[in-house]
Amino acid sequence: MQIITDSSCDLPKEIIEKYNILVVPLRIEIDGTDYVDGVNLSHQEFYEKMTASPTLPKTSQPSPQTFVDRFKEGLTNSESVLSIHLSSKLSGTIDGAHQAKNETGGNIEIFDTLTGSLGVGMQVLKACQLAGEGLEMPEVVEKIKAYRDQMRVVVYLETLENAVKGGRVSRPKEFVSNLLNLKPVVHVEDGYVRVLKTLRGKKKAIRVLLDEMEKKRADYSDQIVGITHCDCLEEAQNLKEEIIQRFNPREVMLTTMGPVIGTHAGIGGLLVCF
């Protein structure tokens, strides 16, 4: 079984290579220039360009032909393809995958993760591990669906600047938010990003990420916890240490947040997937 995903998954390069995952890159436009995620734009370059830009970067889904090419490559490697993608509520990416499936033919299954960033990546990783155990496609899909349905993705936003650039928040509201030191925490629910809480102060807001983990379970010794950050490695490492001390997870995967979610989270954003 060949696993395919899109570049929103934010999986580390070593995981992509270890499991021979094929990645369909999304596109990003910054100040009128088009980039291909992970091809001619690294995450660090994205942060720098996004910070310098007066407007919000625009992300766009891959073309159906890009999917067709990946599906054909996948079907030369294996008899079946499982294509796992960013939430259909956040992007039209999965529509392109369905269109390409119809054009390509063959044993191709399209799976909607109903989430973003490492929430996608951890479902991809789960599928790879299950396939490696010898499970057939229906069993893998059934198990990653169950995994998806219990997954939580919670995100701390350092600033509303990108929401202002995107026209979702007015400048006066941003000024008041900054004045009061308000920090929003959002989460993914039913495939959509929704506000969970807004608190005064960074420490309180980040504490919500840990509190949400505790609400789900006290012991993560059999679980992988994922963290992505938008150009704030030190804060992400501190959060990782707190999670290890408090919840004893089997593993904490820490990586950078890519353009798809990073565009909206902004610099300083922290995402936890559990």
Tell me the per-residue pLDDT of 224-238, one tens digit each, with 9 for 90 and over: 999 999 999 999 999
Q: State whether 131 and 260 are in the same domain.
A: no
Using CA atoms, how far apart are residues 250 and 42, in angstroms rounded to an integer? Answer: 29
Lowest mean pLDDT among 42-46, 130-134, 264-268: 264-268
Q: State whether 160 and 251 are in the same domain.
A: yes
Using CA atoms, how far apart are residues 208 and 233, in angstroms rounded to an integer? Answer: 19
- Domain with 87, as residue range(s), is 2-26+61-150
Q: State whether 251 and 267 are in the same domain.
A: yes
Q: State whether 16 and 139 are in the same domain.
A: yes
Q: At residue 173, what is the residue type?
A: K
- Residue 130's pLDDT band (cuts 50, 70, 90): very high
* Other CB atoms within 10 A of residue 13 CB: 9
Using CA atoms, how far apart are residues 24 and 72, in angstroms rounded to an integer? Answer: 13
What are the C-alpha distances in Å from 182 to residues 153, 159, 235?
A: 21, 9, 18
pLDDT at 169: 47
- Give a yes or no: residue 174 inside a domain: yes
Q: State whether 189 and 225 are in the same domain.
A: yes
Q: What is the pTM of this model?
A: 0.92
What are the C-alpha distances in Å from 91 to residues 82, 221, 242?
A: 19, 33, 33
> Residue 30 pLDDT more than 90?
yes
> Residue 166 pLDDT more than 90?
no
pLDDT, averaged across the chain = 92
pLDDT at 265: 86
- Give a yes or no: residue 34 inside a domain: no
- Summarize the confidence of residues 36-52 as an average pLDDT: 95
> Dihedrals φ, ψ of 114, to 5°?
60, 30
What are the C-alpha distances in Å from 221 to residues 17, 32, 71, 213?
A: 26, 46, 36, 13
pLDDT at 168: 45
Q: State whether 235 and 186 are in the same domain.
A: yes
Total domains present in the chain: 2
Q: State whether 158 and 123 are in the same domain.
A: no
What are the C-alpha distances in Å from 106 to residues 75, 84, 137?
A: 8, 16, 13
Q: State whether 242 and 112 are in the same domain.
A: no
Q: State whether 259 and 142 are in the same domain.
A: no
Give how far the C-alpha of residue 35 lies from the chain's centroid of Cα atoms, to the nearest Å: 18
Structure-token pair, residue 117: 């960033």
